[in-house]
Amino acid sequence: MNRYGWLLLALLCAVLIPTLLGGDELLPKLMAFDRGLLLTLLGMIVLCWVINAIRLRLLLGQHGEKIGWVRSLGVVMATEFAICTTPAGSGGPLTLMALLARDRIGPAHSGAVFATDQLNDLLFFFCALLAIAGYALFHSLGQRQEDLLLSSALLLCAAVAAIIGLVKYRRAAMRLNGRFLQRIGVSQQRRRRWARKALHFVGALGQTWQLPKRTLALVFTLTCVHWGLRYSVLYLVLQGLGVELSWIPSFLVQMLSLSAGQFSLLPGGAGAAELTSASLLSPWVGSSTAAAAILIWRAVTYYFYLLAGGPVFVCLLARPLLERWRRQAG
């Protein structure tokens, strides 16, 4: 089955899971949801795209002047579309490098920008969990919320430990990778070329981290605003459905659900994210309300990315490739 087949299967599972969970009460709850609130949620996602475009230009440094504001927004939307349609978001960095290459920004530098952006995201979640843990010291969260917090903390600590280990032992990792490539029959010339690319990436990453502290602080502040908006969607959806659930458990549910989606290797985590969020959310709000909340939440934070980002992706990446192939064929 090709990539598009897996995407269609994942989308089908993503819709079926909350539909079966909600039963006969699902449709009335969806119909009663405030349309004004839905438009507000979609506007929050558009604002997230604008924030990410600003982050991209800041991380590019002097190279950010090569791309305009509209194009940077398009690059962000196309990149996030690729993340949503590929296993574990693997298409995201490739799309970003391909688009920035047209602005004469090398793959090493664009890859370093993507990696720095992801590290900023990781730092936000680390700080958020520390803040929630500090809150839990003085307030009772309940056993279920504490279990979610512990699971999220373990998951994040494992990710941080893996990154620190990779950075600290990067030379040993490169040697181990070279031996692996040799065993599977990759030629010495190609191994050397990949090693040079890896070294260029490490150098570009160091240059990105040497941006002015004020710039890096602004990037992290924008990261906090972006994820604060993004992870408030489920909370506001539950409020719109008449459920009084605090922001902290909704944050933890989203974090664990989307992490499960990444580990599932399904495009956008479709199916796995719905199943995980349904199992975590149902005991608090009931199955029908959980199903309605999951459908609206994923419509805003996943399907909207596909519908809005797809045409941008085609215009920026797919259409120029098709035109080049046609010129070569002619």
Q: Can you give the pLDDT at residue 217?
A: 95
pLDDT in tens, 240-271: 999 988 898 899 889 888 888 877 777 878 88
Q: Can you give the pLDDT at residue 327?
A: 62
Beta-bridge partner residues of 87: 267
Task: Look up tokens 């032992």; give the residue.
Answer: 169
Q: Give the mean model confidence (pLDDT) for residues 301-322.
A: 85
**What does the alpha-carbon distance between residue 6 and residue 12 come to, in Å, rounded to a whole number?**
10
**Residue 123, number of CB atoms within 10 A of its CB:** 14
Of 94-108, 124-138, 186-200, the poorest mean pLDDT is in: 186-200
Of 51-60, 274-283, 305-314, the poorest mean pLDDT is in: 274-283
Q: Can you give the pLDDT at residue 244?
A: 86
User: If you write DSSP's letter for every residue of 157-196 in order, what string do you get?
Assistant: HHHHHHHHHHHHTHHHHHHHHHHHHHHTT--HHHHHHHHH
HSE (CB half, 13 Å, CA atoms) of 73?
Answer: 11
Q: Give the mean model confidence (pLDDT) for residues 310-326.
A: 75
pLDDT in tens, 38-95: 999 999 999 999 999 999 999 998 877 778 889 999 999 999 999 998 887 888 999 9
Greater pLDDT, 229 or 179: 229
Q: How confident is residue 12, by pLDDT bands cut at 50, 70 and 90? A: confident
Q: Give the mean model confidence (pLDDT) for residues 286-315.
A: 93
Q: Can you give the pLDDT at residue 6?
A: 65
Q: Can you give the pLDDT at residue 271?
A: 83
Degrees, nearest 5: CA angle 29-30-31: 95
Domain limits of the chain?
8-123+213-329
pLDDT at 198 over 90: no
